[in-house]
Each structure stands twice: as structure tokens, then as C-alpha cells.
Structure 1
Amino acid sequence: MNLDVLNGLLTVPAKKWSNIKEVLKSYFSESIATLKNGNEFHNVLLSTLNMLKEDKSASALRNYASRLHVYYNAPLIKADVQQLYNAKLLVVNLNKEKERAIIAGQTTGAILSRKGAEEFAKEIQQDVEKETEKIQTNQEEQETSNNDVMRIVDGNYNPSIEEIESVIDEEVEEEERECLILDNGYPALTTTKTINIGPVPKDLPNHGKSKLTQGFHKYKEEVFKQGLNNMLTFESNTHEILALTHVLLLKQRHVDLQLKTMDEDVLNKTYNDFMDKFNAEYDNKEFISELKDINKDLKRAGFKRDRILEDLHGKMMAQKLGSFEYGVLRCLQNIVEEFPDQPLQDIKEHDLIHNIIDPVLRPFISSSSCRLRWPEINADVRKCRTTRTQRPDAMVSEVKGVQYSKCVGYGEAKAANTDNHGKGVDLVRLAVFGKDCIDAYKLNHVITFQIVEPEATYTCIELAQISFPRTISDVKSFIDDVSSYYTIYKVFKSIQESLNQVFWQENHRETLDTPQYLHAINKTKSNRRLCFVHYG
């Protein structure tokens, strides 16, 4: 077995680690036996084996694996690799439908024997499948002997490779399944492997939120029962799925299960309090009049873009950098300069990001101290993320010196032909990102956005629905929505690290580990199901 292939196996996602650990132990033991004692590569490999036996974390082992590729002078167990110059890691794809090995990382030159690579993949795959089958058999026997304990609350349950391919990850493109998992820099706290809805909140008559937290606990209890029966779907149960990880999704109209378990007056008051706090009406009539004049110019036959751009630039220079008015004019400048006269047909997700969303949003939430970023349009980043759950389409990151620091916002974008299942998956993921962001950085709130073409309680509220302009003729709708943009601008500017450490420690809740959602959510999807979240 080629040592580089074994090295690559150390880079598989942590969630798959338990199923191949025993396979790795036997491979590394055999490999060490073939190497000369005292060889530097032998010493590193021996240390790695010891780490395996000590059951170290997958992340620590991945760091150790990055050192292994340096020592290519060691004798190879098989001579299927003809030349390997400056490749960092050789990763074996464990996907059953594709029996091939690939080069991952920043490879500057590598020549592989295609036949040899396929043989490696097949060999390792067969062994992994055997080990996985054993693990599954042992788990089934253990579950059978504990009939009263559901899998959903079994803290010792180790999902198999097939089970780990969660419904949340099913939109991953095939080539993205063949990547290393890299440090993504997102806030990641300890996640819970079981669904724990927490203790019953105390009844505090003088506490304004006591009824809300008590009702939300009852709501989670009912959701938990549905989850045990695998009854939840992303189309119809977005509110319930989020409740499993302590996020209360509130809309103007509440879903049936919320009304059955929670006081409707309390729900209405909570929603209205949030809207009163964050909703901002823009009332600068003089500036709105200027915008309407610009729109009139754009509707004239034969208008000159360069003249309008010159006018917009002059108005921008009269505004304070970073002000809302400056952002609006900068956004209009992007629209006039870049947008077509007629809408583009069949817009894909990345086109939607590049051509529509970024030019409109960036002027409002991106600056020298806080950047709107799109990891998904960076090929290097995209190739090195193994699951959709690890990477939102957009991140809003603060800048400290020469590095990005904390994230204060996340976003998802979908093309018009996306079904409700995909939109529901995105909304759940956004809420979980936001919750973890609050926990990691002790923020008072975060802002997330989802864009689709035409005790402790983490509350998720829809601040606004905005129709993004796609052409020059859509400037009027952009002006009509100026108050909505102003709301987003004001909320974004009000994000701050304000949670008391003691308060957070006593009230925060762990995020439900993604694979555990699998046991509570029905994998099927259908556009015929009722959908209680309007995606625009």
C-alpha cells in the first residue's frame, strides 16, 4: 500500500474518522514493518500510529499528516506511482460510485499512473467497506439490545459513512466530494451529539420572557416527538427543525404547532417588539426626491450612462463616506454601470452572486473594516470544503490588521429554479451559522440574508423582503425599497459584542451536531408539500 495514499486518508472529514480508524491502524502497522528502523519517515509514521492508538482527535492527526508528505525518500510499498514531484497530499475518494484517486491541494506537478491510482482506491475502498459493515452490525446489535433507547438520544451512536451523507450535504457537486477539509475560520463551538432540549425553564412571573421560554420548551418537546418518528421535512417543518437546536423562527403568521404549544399573544408581542426595535423607516424626503429624478433620467429614451454616472459621482462626493446615502448612490452607480437593459435568462447561482447580489449589497455592508466575502466563488476555497454545512455562500467578516477576524453575518443565494427543499436547507443552515456566531463572539445579534431570484432562545426574525434590481428599469423598485435597505443598514451597524460572559455561560445552548439532524428529518423532498416559509 502506497504511504502517500495512507497519508491522504488522514485528511478525510472528522465525521468519517471513526469508521476508518481501525483500517488505518492496521495499514500503518504493516507499513512500519517494511521500513528501516530509525529512518526519519519511519519515526514520523510511528508517531502517527501512536496517536491513532491514543485516539487523538482527527484535527490533530490531520496536522500530523501534513508533515508526512515531506519524506518522499522512504521506500514505497508499491511502485504504482511513477513520479511525484511537489504534490502536497494524495486523497482517496471513498465515494462508492467513483473508484479513483485524485490529487488535492496546490499541486505544482504530479504524474500518476492512472491504473495504479484506481487500484489503490479499490483496495482501500474494499477494506473500508468491510470495516464499515462490521461497525454497522455491532451498532445494530447494540440498538436491538436497548429497545427503550432511541438512536436519536444515543450519545455513543457512531453513524456509518452512508448515514453521514446527510440530507444537508446532498447538493454538493461531485468534484467537491473529492477535497480535503481545511480550517475554515468560522466560529465553531462544541456541538452536541444528542438532541437535548434542556431542562424545563423556571416560572419567573416578573420576568418578561418567562412565558416565551416556557412555551418554547413545550414546543421543543412536541418537535422532539416528531423527530423520533422521522416526520420532519425541510419544506413544511423549517420552524420545527430549527427548534431542535434552540432557534425560534418567528414570522408574522405562526405555524400550527407553535400556536398549540405557545401563547399566541406572547408570540405576537415578541415578533412586534423585534420589528419595532429593528424596523427603520427612511424619511429623508429630499434625498428620495433626488433618487426619483435619477430614475426619471434612466427612463428617458437614449439616455447616456456616462452622464448619469458623472451625476451620481458628484452626489456621492457630497455625502459622508460610509453613510447610508453614500451606499445608496454607490449601489445606483453599480447598477447604471454594470446592469443590462434587459434581464439575463437562466441565471445560475454564481452569476446571481457576481452580477446582481454583490453590486447591490456591497455598498451597504462592506467597508475597509468589514468585508462582504463570497467563499463559493473562490475556486481554491470551494475545492477544499467537503460539505455544504461548512461553507455559506456569503460571509461578513471584520478586518483586524491583515487578517479577517469575527464574522457578523452570513448569506445564501439560490437561482429561481431552486425547489423549496433546497431553500429550506439554506435557511436552516443560515440560522445555525448565526446562532454559533452569537455564541462564539458574544454578539447582541447577527444579520443573515437569503436571496432567491424572483430557556435560552435564539430568535430568528425576517426583517425585510427585497426584490433585487436586475436591469436599469428596476431602479424604481430599488428606490421603493429604500426603507428596507435602511433597516438592513441600521441593524448591521448596531451589531456589537455586548453579551455578558456570565450571562452567556448560563444561558447559551449547544448547537445540534449536523449528522444528528439525519435521524429527525425525512430525507424525501416534494414541491407538493405545504411550505410555511415564503422565500420570495
Structure 2
Amino acid sequence: MRQTANSSFINVPPRKKQRILAADIQWCVDNKDTMTLNSFAENFSLLDKQYTISRYTSIINSRHLVLERERLQTEFDNLKKSEEFKLYWIKRTRRRTQLEVDTKCTEYVCDAAKRATKALSSFSTTNDTTITAPPTSIPSTSYHATTISTANDITKTTEVEFTVDISDLEAGIATATIIEDAENPRLSKDDAEIDLLMLGKSLNPFERSLVWGIKAGMRKLPLKPIKTRKSLGECELFTMYFDPILSAMFSNSDKNVLLRWSNVASDESGEKRPDATISEIYQHDFGPSLGYGEVKVARPTTDNYALCHDLLRLATLAKDTIDINKLQAALTFQINGFKIIFYLSRLRHDGMYIMQEIGRLTFPSSLEELASFVNLKNIRTLPMVTEAFWRLCQPVNDKELWKTKCRPTYPTIYSLIDVTKDRHRFCALQFE
């Protein structure tokens, strides 16, 4: 009897260890009555949208939440259609981008500090004042870093200082009145041009250039907007709508500076062919480039891929012309449909190039819109951009110090662009 009991005791299988649930599954089980995708992402500090949705969906469809599966799935489907969901993930994506940029900047600063410390150490250990070249096995070339700053993200260290106060409201009102009279027409275009010329005599040079650009635009702009925007090509877009005002701002025969819509390569651009180039003229030839422009015809949906690619081209072109021609700054502009953004690029620190947005506005598409174009914002922005160009896009004074700050352009910078396109991909830059 005792032997039987012992044998039966021995044959009892051992108990299985209770399986410990993953932390996110356990949290979902504990909070099944109140949890949402957003609270799930917040609790586990998730910033990747696709991973968060995939993980959350797999948990609510697992065997641990069988009774709550239908309700949680319905709530999740309704959340995805809401404005709250889209705004929340825009915020999370921006946070992710900011952290990635901060990480890269920190790594760059740390690497620069290590290189500087190593150089100082090697200098202090030598017997004479010469510094030996680094071993060939270690790359000795450090490349540039470019920071793009929008108009809403301007720090005090990169702010453009405007030396002229552009605040002649009476001149703006007078200009708008003349244009409106020519549109009605209570005033002929010839008389309107004479009135604008007389008005420009009393203004400073930067406001005068804007008035003369508006005068030239009155001859080129159609009376009413062209409805079939698809028929407008890039050449027609910039020659008819943008050239009158931009040429008045950035061209001056007395100073031998010309805005060219050439679409040809220059000494600074290499094989790249910008749509527009602001060039100095040396005798009978084009000299150094002071700025560049890129043009894209507006599409039914914004082509962020092409616009970002153009912005990278402008940043590289501006950086190269600053280095080659030893300029204090270079001006660039990007046209998308009838919208234009102005940038000013400068070498402010050792190997750090700042590309700052200094103006953003919409140009008129007809004579009817020209009067409303002359508003307080535009008559302040455009003369300020003009003043910054003529004052800052000049050769530097200390060229030897400039050489120590410059860095070569990263040779394969375009390889950083993802070859795939996705219109749903988040774009941190705003072109509309």
C-alpha cells in the first residue's frame, strides 16, 4: 500500500511555471477599460507611428483581450478617422525629428571636440612649433554642416539685422491707389506708370526698386487670372509673373549685377544648373554668383520630394559660392507656383553654414491681384530682402580668417536622399 502511494506520488507531473506577460501586454490588460492608442504610446514613450499601431493592434487581437477585442478595435478605428489622431502624430513625429537632430548635433560637437583636443595634445608634445600631419589611415578632412532656419525659428545668433526702417505706409497706400485706378480703368497704364515713377523719387532706394518692379509688372500681368494653370510652364511662370519685381530688386547695371533666368551651369555650381542666377558682370563676361533661384510649377498636390530636393540644391549652391567667392552671404529663393520663399546663407561659425528664411509671400497672378499684393506685409518684406542682399552679399574683409572657417562640401550629399517617394511621409518643411 505504501509502495503504491509512493509510486503515484512520483508519477505526478511537475507544475508548469506561470508565464510572465510582456510589460506592454500587462499594461493593456490592467487598463483595458480606459486605454487608447495615444495613451499606449505615451506610457511607453513610442515615437514611431507604424510600430506603435502594429504593436497595439497585435495586443488587442491577442488571446489576453478576447472579451474586449471588438470594443477596442471599434474605438481604434474611430480614433484613426479623427482630427485628434492626426494632430497627435504630427506632434510625435516632430518630437522624433527634433530628438534625432539633437542627437546628430551632439555627436558632431563631440567629434569636433575630440579632434580639437587631439590636435592640441599633439601640438603640446612636439618639440618645435610645427604640427605634424595626421596619419593617412585617419581621415583628416571635416565637412561642413548646414542649418536651415525658417521664419518661425530664428535665434538671436542667426538673426538678420536690417539697417533701414521700411515703414512708409503712405507710399504703400499711394501705390495701391494708382494700381487700382489703372485696373478699373480710371487711369491709363501710361499715366499710372508716370505716377509710380514720380512716387518712387521720394522713396529710399529699396522701396523705389519695389515700386519700379510693380510698374514693370503692370505691362506683363494679364488683366484676369489664367484659369488653366496647367498650361503655364516654368519659363512662362518666372518671366511673366516674377521677373519684373525680382529684376528690379536684384539687378543694377550701375553696380554690374544682373538677375539671369539662364538655367545654365556656372563656375560655382559645377554640373548643377539652377533656374536663376544673380551674377556680377566683369567687363564682357559673367563673374561671381551672388545668389540662385529654383522654380517649380504648382501641382494639384504639393510635391514635397521635388521641393526638398530643390532646397538642398540651393543650400549647396549658396555654400559653394560663399566659399569660392569669399562672400559674407548668398541669397537664394525658391518659387512654387505663385509662392516664393527667400533665404540668406552665411558662414557664421567654424564649418557651420546658416541658411535662414527671411521672407515668404505670394505674388499676384493678374492685374486684379496686384493692388491687394501691395499690402503692409509685402511692402515691408520685399525692401528688407533687397536691403539685406545689397548689404550682405559682398566679399569678406579678412580673407585669411575666412579660409580657416570654410569646409569642403560633403561629396556625396545627394546620396542621403531616400530614393523612394511617399506622399504620406511627414515633411518638416512647409512650402504652401
What TM-score, normalized to structure 2?
Answer: 0.58
- How many angstroms does 1:391 deviate by? 0.9
Distance 1:314 1:501, change over 3 A: closer
**Match for residue 446 of structure 1?**
330
Paired residue type of 1:362: S
Q: Does the 8 Å contact 1:412/1:450 carry over to 2?
A: yes
Which residue of 293, 296, 301 corresponds with 1:411? 293
Q: Does the 8 Å contact 1:340/1:471 carry over to 2?
A: yes
What SS is found at the alignment partner of 2:281?
strand
Q: Does 1:328 align with 2:221?
A: no
**Match for residue 55 of structure 2?**
none
The CA RMSD measured in Å over matched residues stands at 3.1
Which residue of 330, 353, 356 corresponds with 2:241? 356
**Match for residue 479 of structure 1?**
374
Q: Does 1:250 align with 2:179?
A: no
Q: Does 1:269 align with 2:151?
A: no
Distance 1:467 1:414, change over 3 A: same
Cα deviation 1:120-172 (Å, max 9, x = unaligned): xxxxxxxxxxxxxxxxxxxxxxxxxxxxxxxxxxxxxxxxxxxxxxxxxxxxx
- How many angstroms does 1:201 deviate by? 3.6
**Match for residue 467 of structure 1?**
362
Q: Does 1:534 align with 2:430?
A: yes
Q: Does the 8 Å contact 1:456/1:508 carry over to 2?
A: yes
Q: Does the 8 Å contact 1:360/1:468 carry over to 2?
A: no
- How many angstroms does 1:331 deviate by? 1.2
Name the CA distance, whole Å, in 1 between partners of 2:370 and 2:270.
34
- How many angstroms does 1:506 deviate by? 1.7
1:509-524 aligned at under 5 Å gives the runs 509-513=407-411, 516-524=412-420
Cα deviation 1:25-59 (Å, max 9, x = unaligned): xxxxxxxxxxxxxxxxxxxxxxxxxxxxxxxxxxx
- How many angstroms does 1:371 deviate by? 0.3
Distance 1:357 1:296, change over 3 A: closer
1:63-142 aligned at under 5 Å gives the runs none
- How many angstroms does 1:290 deviate by? 2.0
Q: Does the 8 Å contact 1:334/1:359 carry over to 2?
A: yes
Q: Does 1:490 align with 2:398?
A: no
- How many angstroms does 1:301 deviate by? 5.0
What SS is found at the alignment partner of 1:274?
coil
Name the CA distance, whole Å, in 2 between partners of 1:509 and 1:358.
34
What SS is found at the alignment partner of 1:483?
helix
Which residue of 247, 253, 258 corresponds with 1:371? 258
Distance 1:409 1:297, change over 3 A: same
**Match for residue 42 of structure 2?**
none
Which residue of 296, 311, 321 corresponds with 2:195? 311
Name the CA distance, whole Å, in 1 between partners of 2:238 and 2:286.
21
Cα deviation 1:325-354 (Å, max 9, x = unaligned): 331221121122121111123222111111
Name the CA distance, whole Å, in 2 between partners of 1:341 and 1:484.
25
Q: Does 1:290 align with 2:174?
A: yes
Cα deviation 1:346-402 (Å, max 9, x = unaligned): 2221111111111120011101110001112xxxx58x99x9951111110111222
Distance 1:496 1:298, change over 3 A: same
Cα deviation 1:243-291 (Å, max 9, x = unaligned): 985111122556xxxxxxxxxxxx7433xx514x149651123322321
Distance 1:310 1:501, change over 3 A: closer
Paired residue type of 1:508: C
Q: Does the 8 Å contact 2:146/2:353 carry over to 1?
A: yes
Name the CA distance, whole Å, in 1 between partners of 2:172 and 2:356.
27
Q: Does the 8 Å contact 1:442/1:504 carry over to 2?
A: yes
Distance 1:303 1:319, change over 3 A: closer
**Match for residue 506 of structure 1?**
404
What SS is found at the alignment partner of 1:474?
helix
What SS is found at the alignment partner of 2:235?
helix
Unpaired runs of at least 5, structure 1: 1-195, 204-242, 255-266
What TM-score, normalized to structure 1?
Answer: 0.47
Paired residue type of 1:534: Q
Work out the percentage of aligned pairs sharing the same amino acid. 25
Name the CA distance, whole Å, in 2 between partners of 1:336 and 1:201.
54
1:141-156 aligned at under 5 Å gives the runs none
Specify which structure has the bigger relative contact order, considering alpha-carbon pairs within 8 angstroms and separated by 6 or more residues.
1
**Match for residue 282 of structure 2?**
400
Q: Does the 8 Å contact 1:411/1:448 carry over to 2?
A: yes
Paired residue type of 2:274: P
Q: Does the 8 Å contact 2:143/2:408 carry over to 1?
A: no
Paired residue type of 1:407: S
Name the CA distance, whole Å, in 2 between partners of 1:498 and 1:474.
41
Distance 1:511 1:326, change over 3 A: same
How many pairs align? Answer: 277
| Structure label with greater radius of gyration | 2
**Match for residue 309 of structure 2?**
425
**Match for residue 353 of structure 2?**
458
**Match for residue 200 of structure 1?**
111
**Match for residue 154 of structure 1?**
none
Distance 1:444 1:354, change over 3 A: same
Name the CA distance, whole Å, in 2 between partners of 1:460 and 1:249.
5
Q: Does the 8 Å contact 1:250/1:459 carry over to 2?
A: yes
- How many angstroms does 1:304 deviate by? 2.7
Q: Does the 8 Å contact 1:389/1:429 carry over to 2?
A: no
1:164-203 aligned at under 5 Å gives the runs 200-202=111-113
Cα deviation 1:193-244 (Å, max 9, x = unaligned): xxx96983449xxxxxxxxxxxxxxxxxxxxxxxxxxxxxxxxxxxxxxx98
Unpaired runs of at least 5, structure 2: 1-106, 115-141, 339-349
Distance 1:506 1:499, change over 3 A: same
Name the CA distance, whole Å, in 1 between partners of 2:364 and 2:306.
23
